[in-house]
Amino acid sequence: MTLINYHRKHQQFLINIMKNYREKKSERKRLNAYTCKDCEKYYSTVSEERIQISSRHRGNKRPSTPEHFWDLDFPDDIEIPTETYTFKPLEENKYYTQAKQ
């Protein structure tokens, strides 16, 4: 997995979450309700109609977070493609020549 693919995968996950965000209560009420894993036990005893009336979870069901999403360290298996970079000699670098003078 390259660093670019790793970033795109997590960015797409966040975009999918925000796609169904609605600020107004009336707009949110029109979205379909669903149950999360914490609420399933409570809602298993009531009808689907009651879920649509009282559930706070609205919109499309959120996807589960990608693997290693909450890891704070950089993954070890990422390859950085160095062949895409082009390096100029220091003499051609304008900042290097200015600092040298």
DSSP string for 32-49: PB---TTTHHHHTTS-HH
Closest to 60 (Cα-Cα) out of 16, 29, 12, 10: 16
Q: 79 — phi, psi (to 5°)? A: -105, 130
pLDDT digits (tens, 9 = 90+) for 22-49: 667 677 777 777 778 788 888 888 888 8
Q: What is the mean pLDDT of residues 65-79?
A: 73
Helix (H, G, I), strand (E, B) or coil at 2: strand
Model-level pTM?
Answer: 0.36
* DSSP state at residue 4: H
Q: Tell whether the model's pLDDT for residue 50 goes beyond 80.
A: yes
